[in-house]
Amino acid sequence: MFIGSHISSSKGYEAMGKQALKLGADTFAFFTRNPRGGKAKDIEAEDVEHYRRLAKEHSFGPVVAHAPYTMNACAAKPEILEFARETFADDLKRMEYIPGNYYNFHPGSHVGQGVEKGVELISDMLNQCMSPTQTTIVLLETMSGKGTEIGRNFQELQMILERIRPELQEKIGVCMDSCHVWDGGYDIVHDLDGVLAEFDRVIGLSRLKAMHLNDSKNELGSHKDRHEKIGQGYLGLETFHKILIHPALANLPVILETPNDDAGWAEEIALLRELQKQ
Ligand code: FE
Ligand code: FE
Ligand code: ZN
């Protein structure tokens, strides 16, 4: 497994790579632009080149970029849908500067239009903006089911996946967030194997490309989405131990999105590496 955390993208790619090394990481996540939206920074060819060299030299796993939270591909208002499409298309173009990585996004909130309509809008955006020649794999994130979020269960993600054009199927996968699936009602504390078997039955484990590792401040099925530090919430250390040594999850990049500063993340990354050895 490759282990890392969220890293600020404000100083560019090489700075992210160096920061990852400082934290003891061999993957990381970053926002492609301000998480609340807005214009993305210009990409500098030299900076990207330096980053690519560093990533290769240190055998980084795939990085897991994160789309801004404001990107709602199944909004009701046309201007919000338009913003989502523009952002998504622009981000995919920019991702090609670092070929072969992952781009994770929250499927969206249907804001009362219903799951069917939401799924239709999300898959339309994907079918329109993705290309069979892109090297980036787009990941749908499993969600906690807060409000009208789509992706509250595996079935909803599969509904989207099924509608993707056949020539794009290899370019799309899923990122499982441990806090979100727990909050969504999947009991990974007592039955990780059962939850993964259910994922395999509904979606197929070959689609699972990355994980977000977060503990949860709330109980099973709470639909709250409040992340906690590793081992300090309802999931507990033993659950993370099981995840880290699970054969079906080997070789995935795992990303911490826990409430921490850099020192806290460095500690958690070291903790995860320790758990993995046990
Ligand atoms: Fe997320
Ligand atoms: Fe997440
Ligand atoms: Zn979350």
Mean pLDDT in residue range 160-168: 98
**Length of the chain in residues, anyone?**
278
Domain residue ranges in the chain: 2-277
Kindly report which listed range (24-38, 142-156, 258-272) carries the lowest average pLDDT score.
24-38
Instruction: Please determine, for residue 146, whether its predicted confidence score (pLDDT) is greater than 90.
Output: yes
The rounded Å distance from CA 54 to ligand 3 centre is: 29
Predicted local confidence at residue 206, as pLDDT: 98
The rounded Å distance from CA 227 to ligand 3 centre is: 6
The rounded Å distance from CA 49 to ligand 2 centre is: 28
Mean pLDDT in residue range 4-32: 97
Cα separation of 109 and 156, whole Å? 12
Mean pLDDT in residue range 186-200: 98
Predicted local confidence at residue 117, as pLDDT: 98
To the nearest whole percent, how much of the chain has pLDDT over 90? 95
Cα separation of 187 and 77, whole Å? 35
Average per-residue pLDDT for the chain: 97
Cα separation of 273 and 108, whole Å? 33
Asked if 214 and 179 touch (Cβ cutoff 8 Å), the reply is: yes
What are 120's two structure tokens?
């239709």
Strands, E assignment, 88-247: 102-105, 137-141, 172-177, 208-213, 215-216, 227-228
The rounded Å distance from CA 66 to ligand 1 centre is: 7
The number of the ligand nearest the C-alpha atom of 210 reads 2
Strand partners, 241: none
Mean pLDDT in residue range 259-265: 97
For the stretch 33-48, pLDDT in tens is 887 777 888 888 999 9
To the nearest whole percent, how much of the chain has pLDDT over 70? 100
For the stretch 197-215, pLDDT in tens is 999 999 999 999 999 999 9
For the stretch 74-111, pLDDT in tens is 999 999 999 999 999 999 999 999 999 999 999 999 99
- More confident: 37 or 140: 140
The rounded Å distance from CA 124 to ligand 3 centre is: 24
For the stretch 102-118, pLDDT in tens is 999 999 999 999 999 99
Mean pLDDT in residue range 20-40: 90
The number of the ligand nearest the C-alpha atom of 104 reads 1
Predicted local confidence at residue 39, as pLDDT: 81
Second CATH level (architecture) for the domain 2-277: Alpha-Beta Barrel (3.20)
Q: How many CA atoms lie within 13 A of 4 on its CB side?
A: 27
Predicted local confidence at residue 42, as pLDDT: 85
The rounded Å distance from CA 277 to ligand 3 centre is: 27
